[in-house]
């Protein structure tokens, strides 16, 4: 870390980053047993570094994952909400939970139906993970997220955006012809992992120079604006070479040599060693 700052916090993505094949903490991307992800978290805890999981997953899933790591803060549904020591902080603009969940409000507004019709054969719900969500509508397919955002604005849904959360492996026969399949979250426009990272960091009083992040998607990459260094695990660019061009917009972003949990371990060790070098 620059300027003699000591690392205080790691913002860490789950699927495709810390977790390997089958969303396993104890396997790498090829399914081989690996403890590197565990070692990465262990190194952070021993160094007094808070580990904040940031994920597109539902609240209950991320809560349980954070609890297993002994952590009290986490970010769920692609930055829609930050939980700090049990207290919720919604980053969803005018869309707030009430009599209806935010997900139900989005559905009633008609945006999900619009996208499924407009991009038939290119977009579908990400079954079985799309149910029971409080905020986002979860899709899979292959679309241009920026183009989708323009379509949303044109149809009166400027308060929503489509988040590209990286490559996924599950697909239906309807998407079989696509070269690869990505996961997408339809969320309030104000919600993002980057905004959630910035909020948590301010709430904790961590300077930017004391925080780093590790992920595998464009949404994770956007967090670079709020941390000292943003790492992408190697599989992020192996699965999507276009990520290389996206990296060019962030001078403090780099790619690990290793993938999944091993890449996280590489990022953690490199960061913690730089603390020692700076003393």
Q: Is residue 145 part of a domain?
A: yes
Per-residue exposure over 122-155, b if at least 16 CB sit within 10 Å of its own CB, e if not: bbbbbeebbeebbbbbbbbbbbebeebbebbeee
Mean pLDDT, the chain, whole residue set: 94
What does the longest C-alpha to C-alpha distance in the chain come to? 58
Q: Is residue 97 part of a domain?
A: no
Number of domains in the chain: 2
Q: Is residue 69 part of a domain?
A: yes
pLDDT at position 168 is: 85
Write the CATH number for 239.
Answer: 3.40.50.1000
- Residue 27: pLDDT above 60? yes
Measured between alpha carbons, how far is 134 from 246 in angstroms, rounded to an integer?
Answer: 30
Q: Is residue 38 part of a domain?
A: yes
Last-in-domain residue among 188, 222, 251: 188
Q: Which domain holds residue 223?
A: 2-91+192-277
217 and 204 within one domain: yes
197 and 87 within one domain: yes
- Residue 63: pLDDT above 80? yes
80 and 13 within one domain: yes
Q: Is the pTM of this model over 0.85?
A: yes
Percent over 90 (pLDDT), the chain? 90
257 and 199 within one domain: yes
138 and 67 within one domain: no
Last-in-domain residue among 167, 188, 209: 188
Measured between alpha carbons, how far is 267 from 228 in angstroms, rounded to an integer?
Answer: 12
- Residue 4: pLDDT above 70? no
117 and 72 within one domain: no
């Amino acid at each position: 870390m620059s300027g003699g700052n000591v690392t205080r916090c790691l913002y860490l993505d789950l699927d495709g980053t810390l977790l390997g094949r089958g969303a396993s903490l104890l396997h790498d991307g090829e399914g081989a047993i690996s403890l590197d992800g565990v070692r990465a978290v262990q190194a952070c805890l021993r160094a007094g570094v808070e580990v904040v999981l940031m994920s597109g997953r539902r609240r209950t899933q991320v809560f349980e994952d954070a609890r297993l790591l002994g952590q009290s803060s986490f970010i769920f549904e692609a930055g829609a909400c930050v939980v700090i020591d049990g207290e919720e902080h919604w980053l969803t603009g005018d869309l707030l939970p009430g009599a209806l969940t935010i997900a139900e409000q989005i559905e009633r507004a008609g945006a999900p139906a619009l996208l499924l019709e407009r991009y038939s054969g290119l977009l579908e719900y990400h079954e079985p993970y799309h149910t029971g969500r409080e905020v986002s509508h979860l899709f899979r397919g292959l679309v241009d997220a920026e183009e989708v955002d323009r379509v949303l604005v044109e149809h009166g849904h400027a308060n929503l955006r489509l988040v590209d959360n990286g490559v996924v492996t599950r697909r239906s026969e309807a998407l079989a012809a696509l070269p690869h399949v990505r996961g997408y979250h339809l969320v309030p426009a104000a919600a993002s992992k980057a905004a959630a990272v910035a909020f948590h960091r301010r709430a904790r009083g961590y300077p930017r120079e004391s925080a780093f992040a590790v992920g595998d998607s464009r949404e994770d990459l956007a967090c670079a604006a709020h941390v000292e260094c943003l790492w992408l695990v190697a599989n992020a660019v192996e699965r999507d070479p276009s990520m290389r061009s996206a990296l060019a917009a962030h001078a403090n972003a780099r790619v690990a040599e290793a993938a999944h949990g091993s890449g996280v371990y590489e990022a953690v060790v490199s960061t913690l060693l730089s603390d020692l070098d700076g003393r």
